[in-house]
Amino acid sequence: MPSLKTIRKRITSVKATQKITKAMKMVAGARLSRAQQRIVSMRPYALKTREILDGVAAAMAAKQTDQEYRAEGTVEAMHPLLARRPEKNVLLVVLSGDRGLCGAFNANAGKAAFLTWRKKTDEGAEVRIATIGKKGRDYLNRRRASVSRDFPKLYDGLDMSKAASVSDWIVAQFEKGEVDAVYLVYNEFKSAITQQVNVEQLLPLPEPPPAKEDALRPTEYGFEPNERVVLERLVPMYVEISIYRALLESQASEYGARMTAMDAATRNAKEMIGRLTLQYNRARQAAITKELMEIIGGAEALKD
């Protein structure tokens, strides 16, 4: 059995750890509240941008028989970011965190990216990986999935300009033909307890799901000066907004995962302190009983 001094040291150590985990939980909770507000505000804007983009693409497709579009041949030819090519070169953009102590948040994103990398590689594609977040980069490097580009410290003071820097690099890679498809791997924020890993195609623009028979007719838009000019501005903006949304989703998910993990660690520390205190009291009682037995034994020996 450990000595009383050893048990006291362990109790003191666990109490110190409990203070740290409790403080980290409170900090993550405060940051989560702000991050959640940002992502809730951003989602409708991102979804509406995609809806308008689909509307523009549909309008252009409907006019392909017109002389204005006949020379172009396809809607994809109207903008280089809509070009569909065989996926010989694929770019994975993996979003994770820069710090640990957030449960399985980083591991889930890294695992999804690794499985996607292996799947695309088995299909014969050459896969390049760009990482946002130190933990995802380290996870993939350990598994020999080489990372060709890393964007460090992007979450510090996260804003649209930082998302634009990533977007400009991705757009340049796609327009040059160095990659044929771009996928985002990130954690989508559901709640402080639940985060869902998404592998989402960013470029080229995914085909919209088929409309249901009883669905309302899509909104019809008027374009000025024409659909092509709107599309040239809308497609890069959609890429930028999608990356910014994924960054906000990942950041909120990290805070939620950290708050949940630190809450569990705090409760575990409390239980451990209770067990150690009980063990200490038992050891102390055993030591007292032993001393009493030695005193009584000595007294009895003197009587003889």
Span 129-151, pLDDT tens digits: 999 999 999 999 999 888 889 99
What is the band of 195 on the pLDDT scale with cuts at 50, 70, 90? very high
What is the band of 75 on the pLDDT scale with cuts at 50, 70, 90? very low
pLDDT at 188: 93
pLDDT at 109: 94
What is the band of 254 on the pLDDT scale with cuts at 50, 70, 90? very high
Read off the pLDDT of residues 205-227 as tens digits, 9 standing for 90 and up: 766 555 555 555 556 666 666 66
> Quick one: which H or E segment has residue 195?
strand 195-203
- Mention every residue, 6+ apart, whose C-beta is less than 8 A from residue 239: 81, 167, 170, 171, 202, 203
Strands across the sheet containing 89-95: 149-151, 126-132, 89-95, 181-189, 195-203
- Over residues 51-76, mean pLDDT: 58
Query: Using an 8 Å Cβ cutoff, are 156 and 163 in contact?
Result: no
Instruction: List the CATH code of the domain at 27-208+222-260.
Output: 3.40.1380.10
Query: Using an 8 Å Cβ cutoff, are 280 and 8 in contact?
Result: yes
Question: Residue 69: pLDDT above 50?
Answer: no
What is the band of 278 on the pLDDT scale with cuts at 50, 70, 90? very high
Question: Residue 67: pLDDT above 60?
Answer: no
pLDDT at 297: 81
106 by DSSP, 3-state: which? Answer: helix
Query: Catalytic residue positions?
Result: 102
CA distance 102 to 257: 5
Structure tokens at 288: 């007292």
CA distance 267 to 277: 15
104 by DSSP, 3-state: which? Answer: coil
In CATH terms, is domain 4-20+263-303 a member of 1.10.287.80? yes
What is the band of 29 on the pLDDT scale with cuts at 50, 70, 90? very high
Domain parsing of the chain, residue ranges:
4-20+263-303, 27-208+222-260
**Rounded mean pLDDT of the chain?**
85
pLDDT higher for 73 or 15? 15
Look at residues 244, 302, 283, 263 and name the one whose alpha carbon lies nearest to residue 93.
244
Same fold, 4-20+263-303 and 27-208+222-260: no
Structure tokens at 77: 């030819």
